[in-house]
Amino acid sequence: MSVERTYKDINTRIKAGKAVILTAEEVIERVRKKGVAQTAREVDVVTTGTFGPMCSSGAFLNFGHTRPRMRMSKVWLNNVPAYAGIAAVDAYIGATELTEGDPCNSNYPGEFRYGGGHVIEDLVARRKVHFKAWGYGTDCYPRREIETNITLDDINEAILFNPRNCYQNYNCAVNTSDRTIYTYMGTLKPRLGNANYSTSGQLSPLLKDPYFKTIGIGTRIFLGGGIGYVAWHGTQHFPGILKDAGGKEVCNAGGTLAVIGDLKQMEARWLVGASLRGYGASLTVGIGLPIPVLNEEILACAARTDDELFAPVVDYSEDYPNARPGNLAVVSYAQLKSGKIKVRDREVPTAPVSSYSRAREIACILKEWLQKGEFLLGEPSQLLPGPEAGLSGRQLSAN
Amino acid sequence: MAPEKIVLRFGAETSDKPIIYRLIKDYDLIVNILKASINPHKEGTMVVELTGDRYREGIEYLKKQGISVHPLAQEVVRNNERCTNCGACTVHCPTKALYLERPSMEVKFNGDECVVCLMCVKVCPVKAMEVRI
């Protein structure tokens, strides 16, 4: 008889301190020794993790009202503009927004030393942030400007809301041209000088539940060192499965998550401002998901290894910028992690852009929270669309 | 004239040319190679000490060959608090002073192997590699 569990069953066991929790790395070992059926009977939850630069991140901030009151039309935090077209004292600081007057790529490749991601890190680290706002003044909101310093504790609310995080799978980026290129996947040396990848492979949350059998709206997660939730599917959530010419499944394309959580309970260790040379600023985000072992099938996916998970190798000098489909190769995460892959019969050294060791740490922290009974599973109100939904990207055309 | 310590970075197309021979023969410079990591058809880095009256001309010659020339900063250090152990630097480090330890996938830094080329300082997304002068 194969095992069947409900969220309620597992939460009861977590509260009683009896739940068996393994990280995605540990469950692989267990399955190797005992097989899928036995492991599914023994294990309640598998924890996962990922820690890498994730654009499409940001925070809603409510600064509190001034006296006299002010309707803020423009807001700057450490001279980085935040979007204030929301309400009187609400703004959204986006991770990729740059400091006013940043030279960008006019001095190519630009350094992008500071941006919205760094503001979020500074806030979470409880560093003082310079605040400036301007408004046009109304009868009920007469004040027109303010300049002061704030900390995260001084303001009413700070809600991290990242519309697209936690990519299920991602391209391994290479450069076939004759010059060095600077991309969001890092600096790529000419003539296949290096291959950069950015997924934690066998620890990666959405690669461990590729059919979205457990992840949905309301799933409780590790977010930026605190507790967060899956709010929706992320933008550009295209969880299809890439197939080869013979129709054989090769790898997952790219489901994504929109995540939300109270910034005030997060930690700067898990939300780090990033500067990608020649590209821009971003935010490195730590995310971990618990995968409840509701049945054997879910466990079998959660126990997939780096040998069984693949990424497409994409040329970022020509194909990617021109939005040409196709890839130069498909390689396993085991190959990527070994330090070299083969592309066009050439040995190409690899480098990760997301931190595998920190991903492991996240899976371990989440495991600890569950073991202590501090963290219960959030049963999704609705699962996210899976590969069968047939979602795919649209192209924006000029007139 | 006091010797100048400089870092030379070679592209794949110049790494097999007899650059040092030219510096000595044509510009009459005293060359003291402190560290070198050069392989034919690959990028390379060299730390050299140059002495001689025609130092400026020698530097001009190097730049004309497409070699980047930087003064030697004293030391590159890793800010361990800041480093996220991502590994993006490892593929740019010419001497493998920065490398991924497997299977832990933690980034290790062996300062003795560092030739202060500063590539890691440029590519590190979280600015964890710092120059000490």
Q: In this complex, is the C-beta atom of B85 within 8 Å of any C-beta atom belonging to chain A?
A: yes
User: B127, A275: Cβ pair inside 8 Å?
Assistant: yes
A56: its two tokens: 């499409």
User: Both B112 and B80 in a single domain?
Assistant: yes
Chain A partners within 8 Å of B127 (Cβ): 113, 275
pLDDT at B133: 67
> What pTM was computed for the model?
0.90
Q: Do B84 and A358 touch (CB under 8 A)?
A: yes
Active site annotation includes A140: yes
Best mutation site among B10, B91, B102 for testing chain A: the one with the most A CBs within 10 Å? B91
Q: Which amino acid is at A224?
A: G
Strand A181-183 to strand A186-188: parallel, antiparallel, or no bridges (unpaired)?
antiparallel
pLDDT in tens, B101-118: 999 999 999 988 898 889
Torsion on CA atoms A275, B128, A158, A380, rounded to nearest 10: 90
pLDDT score recorded for residue A166: 96
Give the list of residues 6+ apart from residue A356 with CB closer than 8 angstroms, or none.
Answer: A200, A201, A203, A337, B85, B87, B105
Q: Give the minimum alpha-carbon distance from B10 to chain A in angstroms, rounded to a whole number.
A: 13
Model ipTM value: 0.93
Range of the domain at B80: 75-132
φ/ψ of A127, rounded to 5, equals -80, 150
The residue type of A249 is E
For residues A279 and A296, what is the distance between their CA atoms, to the nearest angstrom?
A: 43
Interface of A with B (CB under 8 A): 51-53, 113, 186-187, 189, 191, 193-194, 196, 272-277, 282, 284, 337-339, 349-358, 360
CA-nearest of A11, A42, A14, A13 to A29 is: A42
Cα-trace Rg, chain A? 22
Count of all residues that appear for chain A in the document: 399
The answer to whether the Cβ–Cβ distance between B126 and A273 falls below 8 Å is yes
Any A CB within 8 A of B64 CB: no
Residues B103 and B123 placed together within one structural domain of the fold:
yes
In this structure, the answer to whether residues B64 and B8 fall within a common structural domain is yes
Given an 8 Å threshold on Cβ–Cβ distance, is A337 in contact with B125? no
CB within 8 Å of chain A, chain B residues 8-27: 12
Put simply, whether B123 touches A (Cβ < 8 Å) is yes
State how far the Cα of A14 lies from the Cα of A4, in Å rounded to an integer: 16
Q: A291-311: buried (b, 16+ CB within 10 Å) or exposed (e) per residue?
A: bbbbebebbebbbbbbebbbb
pLDDT (0 to 100) of residue A314: 97
CATH number of the domain bearing residue B100: 3.30.70.20
CA gyration radius for chain B?
Answer: 16
Nearest Cα of chain A lies from the Cα of B118 at a distance, in angstroms, of 14
For chain B, how many structural domains are there in total? 2
Q: Which of A194, A272, A277 has its CB closest to that of B126?
A: A272
CA atoms within 13 A on the CB side of A95: 24
Give CA–CA dist A343/A326, Å, rounded.
14
Same domain for B79 and B67: no
> Of A195, A170, A168, nearest to A317 (Cα)?
A195
Q: Which candidate from B86, B106, B127 shows the least CB-CB separation from A354? A: B86
Whether B109 and B127 map to the same domain: the answer is: yes
- How buried is A208 (Cβ within 10 angstroms: 0-12 exposed, 13-18 middle, 19+ buried)? buried
If asked whether residues B23 and B79 sit together in one domain, one would say no
pLDDT score at B12: 76
| Same domain as B57, residue B11 | yes
Rounded-to-integer distance, Cα A212 and Cα A253, Å: 13
Q: Same structural domain for residues B36 and B53?
A: yes
From first to last of its 399 residues, chain A has per-residue pLDDT tens of 689 999 999 999 999 999 999 999 999 999 999 999 999 999 999 999 999 999 999 999 999 999 999 999 999 999 999 999 999 999 999 999 999 999 999 999 999 999 999 999 999 999 999 999 999 999 999 999 999 999 999 999 999 999 999 999 999 999 999 999 999 999 999 999 999 999 999 999 999 999 999 999 999 999 999 999 999 999 999 999 888 778 888 887 789 999 999 999 999 999 999 999 999 999 999 999 999 999 999 999 999 999 999 999 999 999 999 999 889 999 999 999 999 999 999 999 999 999 999 999 999 999 999 999 999 999 999 999 999 999 988 999 998
Spatial distance between the Cα atoms of B89 and B48, rounded to a whole number of angstroms = 23
Same domain, B55 and B10: yes
- Check if B105 contacts A (Cβ < 8 Å): yes
**What is the CATH classification number for the domain harbouring B60?**
3.30.70.260
Q: Are B91 and A350 in contact (CB under 8 A)?
A: yes
Three-state SS letters, chain B:
CCCEEEEEEECCCCCCCCHHHHHHHHHCCEEEEEEEECCCCCCEEEEEEEECCCHHHHHHHHHHCCCEEEECCCEEEECCCCCCCCCCCCCCCCCCCEEEECCCCEEEECHHHCCCCCHHHHHCCCCCEEEEC
A356, A361, A364: which to substitute to probe chain B, counting the most B Cβ within 10 Å? A356
Q: Does the pLDDT at position B2 exceed 70? A: no
Compute how many other C-beta atoms are within 10 angstroms of the C-beta atom of residue B1: 9
Do B59 and B116 lie in one domain? The reply is: no
Least Cα separation, residue A322 to chain B (angstroms): 25
pLDDT for B75:
85
> Domain extents for chain A?
58-160
Q: How far apart are CA B36 and CA B117, in angstroms?
A: 11
Q: Could you give the CA distance from residue A216 to residue A232 in angstroms, rounded to a whole number?
A: 7
Considering only CB atoms, A276 lies closest to which of B12, B84, B125, namely B125
Are B125 and A353 within 8 A, CB to CB? yes
Q: Are residues B81 and B123 in the same domain?
A: yes
Q: Which of B81, B84, B93, B101 would you mutate first to test chain A, the one with the most A CBs within 10 A?
A: B84
Contacts of A118 (CB under 8 A, 6+ apart): A78, A80, A273, A281
Q: Do A351 and B102 make contact, defined as CB atoms within 8 angstroms?
A: no
Of these residues, A55, A104, A140, A364, which one is catalytic? A140
Candidate from B88, B105, B123 with C-beta closest to A356 = B105
Q: How far is CA A280 from CA A103, A115, A242, A355, in A?
A: 11, 8, 29, 19
* DSSP code of residue A70: B
The confidence band for B45, taking pLDDT boundaries of 50, 70 and 90, is confident
* Other Cβ atoms within 10 Å of A320 Cβ, number: 17
Q: Which amino acid is at A198?
A: S
Q: How far apart are CA A112 and CA A202, in angstroms?
A: 32
Among partner residues A113, A186, A189, which is closest to B88 by beta-carbon distance? A186
CA dist A336 and A174 (Å) reads 13
Q: Which of B9, B99, B1 is nearest to B53 (CA)?
A: B1
Residue type, A359: A
Partners of A252 in beta bridges:
A241
Q: In B, which residues are within 8 Å of A186 by CB distance?
A: 88, 123, 125
Of A187, A193, A353, the CB nearest to B86: A353
The pLDDT value recorded for residue B61 is: 93
Contact A194 B91 (CB under 8 A): yes
Q: Are residues B82 and B123 in the same domain?
A: yes
* Residue B96 forms contact with A (CB below 8 Å): no
